[in-house]
Amino acid sequence: MNILWISDGKKGHEKQVEILLNEISKTENINIQKEIIQLSKFSQLLELVIYSTCLLFGNVFLSKNKFLAYKKNQTEVVIGAGSSIHIRMLLIKSYLSINNTSIKAISILTPNLYKNHFDIICSPMHDIKKLSKNNKVIYFEGSLAKVSTSEVDESLGFIGIGGINKHYIFDQDSIMLQIEFLLGLYPQKKWFLFTTRRTPNEMIHRVNKVASENNNLIIAHDNYDAIIEKASIKVVTQDSVNMVYESLSTKGQTFLFNMKYIKVNKIVNQIGLLLKNKQVGYIENTKMVEDLNKIKIISQNLHHDVFAEVEKVAYKLILMLKSKNL
């Protein structure tokens, strides 16, 4: 199977597509051609106009030179994640479908436009209201993450810090207090702390300062996958959905930092469901009086199963691609 992967270059999107393709490759013979396309807002709008025009007047407006290489590579499946490249995927499918109607376009995550024009959509369950019964959808919980059932290393801990977001209040003072609590509670562990592109510079400066004063805290930039797989305890901010599900897709315990939500939405509900079902633990941070907080760990269900959403999605996707009814 010849697969064309159109990427927008965003790490969170790339990682989910890559993990899914790796899972498919375990049972299927696939050839992957990856192309990173980073389009300006104007270019996205222009491609939307071109695609809409093609729907009205036919594919005469498509640039053959732009898409000829995909035809030569005998592309059978076009896959990608991210709203900026969805129309490009449909343009490629339209061109390739001129002589081959079996070309399939697969969106990882929910497209904003022309949902019915994608052959398959792999969507998180919290987007179910965005999709209709007419869409061919494979639902998964949270995000697609690499599955590991390897035993953990009790001497290692993982801390994942997100940043400014529209779901939760990113209270730096509260998070720093909880980090220092973890360091004191588990002084025997070596903690690897990862930040994200959303983490404020002030927060990065503050964790660097704590790390300079604590030998058991390391500000890490490499070996992310290996550390999250091996860490016996993972502690993640609630806004970092990908890191939450990456943690839950490995052995060991997963805890969430105590954070207040801004307003109830699909992400807050999803994280709330994990907490309600005790699929994750959390840090309870109660303010007793001024300048005095009571902090304790609330454990997740010790008999929790390792999440394996990518394995389920890969299995269903292969069946659908092989089906004559698609």
Give me the mean pLDDT over the 12-37 stretch: 95
Residue 61 has a pLDDT of 57
CATH class held by domain 153-298: alpha beta
Mean pLDDT in the chain? 91
Residues contacting residue 166 through CB under 8 Å, at least 6 positions apart: 262
What radius of gyration do the chain's Cα atoms show? 22
Q: Please tell me which residue, 255 or 287, carries the higher pLDDT value.
A: 255
User: What is the residue-wise DSSP string for 120-180?
Assistant: EEEEEGGGGGG--TTS-EEEESS-------PPPEEEEEEEE---S-SSB---HHHHHHHHH
Q: What is the dihedral of CA 31, 247, 111, 198, to 10 degrees?
A: -110
Residue 100 has a pLDDT of 67
pLDDT tier at 57, thresholds 50, 70, 90: confident
Instruction: Tell me how far apart the alpha carbons of residues 20 and 144 are, in angstroms, rounded to a whole number.
Output: 7
User: The whole model's pTM is what?
Assistant: 0.87
* Integer angstrom CA distances of residue 38 from 7, 35, 111, 199, 206: 8, 10, 17, 23, 33
Q: Residue ranges of the domains in the chain?
A: 2-145+309-322, 153-298
Give me the mean pLDDT over the 133-139 stretch: 86
Query: In a 3-state reduction of DSSP, which class is residue 298?
Result: strand
Which of the listed CATH numbers 3.40.50.2300, 3.10.129.10, 3.40.190.10, 3.40.50.2000 matches domain 2-145+309-322?
3.40.50.2000
Per-residue pLDDT of 261-318, as tens digits, reads: 999 999 999 999 999 999 999 999 776 566 666 888 998 888 888 999 999 999 999 9
Residue 326 has a pLDDT of 67
Query: In this structure, are residues 309 and 249 in contact, taking their beta carbons and an 8 Å threshold?
Result: yes
**Vertex 134 angle, CA 133 and 137, to 5°:** 75
